[in-house]
Amino acid sequence: MSQPVYLKVKQLIEEEIKELVPNAMIQSERDLAIKYEVSRMTARKAIETLIREGKLYRKDKVGTFVADNKLHEPIAELVGFTSEIISKGMRPHTKVVNYEIIEANERLAQHLEIKVNDRVHSLLRLRMADNRPMTLEHTYIPLSVVKELPRSVIHSSIYAFLDQELNVKIASGSQMVSAIKADEEIANLLEVPLHDPLIYLELTSILMNGQVLEFVETYANPQNYKVMIHSRRKW
């Protein structure tokens, strides 16, 4: 199997940044796409991979910079909600708010690396622990990757279904964290006051073959949910 294009671009960028000093800004996604004659989505995926590896970091509305790898190396583990809650001794429960098959708009097409109007599973779920609302998750999965999501699966663990039934293996995930105010629908579902601050996460999961499995938007009540970032010193 040939190497995915984004990995080739990633290696080229990696060679370039070896010549740069820490905290130096690299070229934009657009410029890198032109330079290596690839799509912006491919350039973005290469950059996000290097960010996950701790070799680059991004500043919103500013740019992407070379990380100081002598100091820290990020460590992350991609786990499903169900297994995470069970491991903490709580009882998980999933309430499906809405499930439908939709056509991808431009934003979804970019995140999922598919074409506009390609068909996508759209699954909105309220994830609970011991009957307390923890997160509201909106998951998008291309039908080209997973043709069917059985009813039993959308009410439980999609990751377990992919691993055990379809033998689909997730290689990595890229997650962006920010804050957002709760709108009326989200506030009602998470049982928080309107406009309360929430943790907002965007997750993109990548399969072993380099294909994008899913794009997930998660809204979490900071009273019940915390984001922990592990780091270790690299000598």
Does the pLDDT at position 226 exceed 80? no
Q: Is residue 182 within 8 Å of residue 190, measured between CB atoms? A: yes
| Placement of tokens 């922990």 in the chain | 228
Enumerate domains of the chain plus CATH numbers. Answer: 5-69 (1.10.10.10), 81-232 (3.40.1410.10)
Report the candidate in 102, 41, 194, 130 with the shortest Cα–Cα distance to residue 9.
41
Most confident of 98-102, 125-129, 153-157: 98-102
Instruction: Give pLDDT, residue 174.
Output: 81
Which secondary structure element, helix H or strand E, spans residue 162, and what is its range?
A: helix 158-164
234 C-beta neighbours (distance < 10 Å), count: 11
Per-residue model confidence as pLDDT tens digits over 182-206? 999 999 999 999 999 999 989 898 8
Other Cβ atoms within 10 Å of 207 Cβ, number = 16
Residue with more model confidence, 185 or 51 = 185
In the structure encoding, which two tokens stand for residue 180, read together?
A: 């957002």
Closest Cα to residue 16, out of 46, 40, 37, 41? 46
pLDDT band at 235 (very low <50, low <70, confident <90, very high): very low
Q: What percent of the chain stands above pLDDT 70? A: 86
How crowded is the C-beta side of 196, counted as CA atoms within 13 Å? 18
pLDDT of residue 43: 93
Over range 105-124, report the average pLDDT.
94
Please write down the HEC assignment for all residues of 71-95.
Answer: CEEEECCCCCHHHHHHHCCCCEEEE
Nearest CA-CA partner of 66 in 14, 25, 13, 19: 25
